[in-house]
Structure 1
Amino acid sequence: MRKRILDINNQNFINLLKEGDIEAHELLYRLYYERLLYVANSYLNNKEDSEEIINDVFVKLWKRKNKLSIKSSLNAYLYRMTKNFCLDHLRKHKKRLSKTDNTLQLEAFVHFEALSDTASTKFIEEELGQQIQLAIAALPEKCREVFTKSKVQGLRYKEISEELDISIKTVENHMSKALKHMRLYLREYMPFL
C-alpha cells in the first residue's frame, strides 16, 4: 500500500509530472535538490555553478514535461541529466580551467559513486512513506477507507459511493476532511501541500 502512494518511480507519479502537476514537481525538487547539488559539485568544484546547474535541470524537466521519456527510473534520469549538464558546462568552460582544476575534476569523475546511490533515495522515500502511513492511520475509520480507495486504489468518487453505499457528496466530504488532515499532518515534510 505504501509503495503506491510514495514511489516516485511509479508511472502514476511520472504521469503527474507529464501533466504539469506543480506539487509533484516541487516534491521532486525537495527530494533531490541536495543530492543533485552534491553530484554537480563533485564535477564542478564550484557551489554557485553547481546550484545553477541543478536549477537548470529542474527548469528543463519542467519545460520538457510533455516529452518526458523515462525508460529506467526517475532517480537515474535526474542523475543522468545532472551529469550531462555538468559535462556540457565543463566543455563550454574548458579553456578557462587551469591544469589543477582539470586534475581535481578528473579525480572526481574517476572516484564518484553517487550516480548509483539508491540507498539515500530509499531512505528518504521510506521516511516519507512512514509519515504518510502514520497520517493515514490517524484518520477516522470511514474517512481512511474513502481516502485509501481514492488515492491508493485509484477509484473515482462515484465508484467509491457505489462500493460503500454512500452518496457522492459524503465521499466528497470524507475526502475533503482527509486531505485537510493529511496537509496538516505532513506540512513539515511537504510544506507546499
Structure 2
Amino acid sequence: MGNYSNDFLLHELKNGQERAFDYIFRKYYKGLCAQAISYISDMDAAQNQVQECFIKFWEKRSELNEIQNLAGYLSFMVRNQCIDYLRKEKVIAKAHDSELNRSVSENSTENELLVHEFEEKLVVALSNLPERCRMAFEYSRFENHTYPEIAKKMNISVKAVEALVGRALKSLRTELKDYLPLLLLFLRMM
C-alpha cells in the first residue's frame, strides 16, 4: 500500500481489509513501543502492551467512529493499556515515576501532561517521516544498530544512513521544537 489517508485506511479497516491494518501497524508500531517503554521499562512487556492495543483495535474495527487523529487515538490506547498493565502488576499507580519524568520538573501533574503530550507528538512526528528516513532512525535509535549494520540491512551506503538519520533528527527537532528538552533527553536515553 502507498501513502494513504487515515480516512481511507479506517474505511478499509472497517471493511475487514487486513492490508489496511498491516499498513497502520507498520507505520505506528515502533513509535508506540517507544511510548510504552516510557511507562513500562521492560521492553518485552511494553511491546506486548502495544500488541494488545493493536489486537483490540482490530477486534473493534467495525465499531470505530470517525477518528480525526489516528496517531493520537493509538497513542491514547497505548497510554491506557500501559496504565492498566501497571495497575494489574501492582506497580505504583503513578505511571511515570521514571528518569524522564523526574528530569523535567518538580510539578508532577504538569509534568505528566507535558510528557504525555510529547509522546503523542513524537508518535505523530515519527509517522510523518519519509519511510526510509523513519526506518534508518528506528534501526539506529530503537534497535541500537550501528550505521554499517543499518547500511547493510537497507542495502545503502553508510553515508546514506548518516544522511537519513540526520534528516530524521532535523525533522524531529523542527516538529518537536516546543519539546526540545524532552526530545534531547529521549534521544540520550535511547
Larger Rg: 1
Indicate the SS of the match to 1:103. coil
* Aligned residue number for residue 23 of structure 1: 19
1:90 to 2:86 alignment:
yes
Counterpart of 1:122 (choices 122, 128, 146) is 128
Matched, 1:47 2:52: no
Distance 2:83 2:75 in 1: 12
Q: CA RMSD in A?
A: 3.1
Unaligned runs of 5+ residues in structure 1 are 129-187, 189-193
Deviations 1:2-51 (A, max 9, x none): xxx62342x22210011110111111111111101000010111111111
Task: Check conservation: 2:71, 2:120, Cα contact below 8 A.
Answer: no
Match of 1:144 in 2: none
Count of residue pairs brought into register by the alignment: 122
Q: Secondary structure at the match of 1:39?
A: helix
Residue 75 of structure 2 contacts residue 120 of structure 2 at CA under 8 Å; is this kept in 1? yes
Counterparts of 2:130 and 2:35 in 1: how far apart (Å)?
A: 17
Match of 1:6 in 2: 3
Cα distance, 1:98 vs structure 2:
11
TM-score, length basis structure 2 = 0.55
Higher relative contact order (CA 8 A, sep 6+): 1
How many Å separate the matches in 1 of 2:82 and 2:74? 12
The answer to whether the Cα contact below 8 Å between 1:8 and 1:74 also exists between their aligned partners in 2 is: no
**Equivalent residue runs for 1:173-192 within 5 Å:** none
The TM-score, its normalising length taken from structure 1, stands at 0.54
Q: How many angstroms does 1:119 deviate by?
A: 2.2
1:69 & 1:48 partners in 2: Cα distance? 31
1:69 deviates by: 1.8
For the 8 Å contact 2:39–2:96, the answer to whether it is kept is no
Amino acid of the residue matched to residue 21 of structure 1? Q
Indicate the percent of aligned positions where both proteins have the same amino acid: 25
Match of 1:107 in 2: 101
Number of the residue aligned with 1:178: none
Query: Following the alignment from structure 2 to structure 1, what is the Cα–Cα distance between the partners of residues 14 and 132?
Result: 24
Contact 2:86 / 2:93 at 8 angstroms: preserved in 1?
no
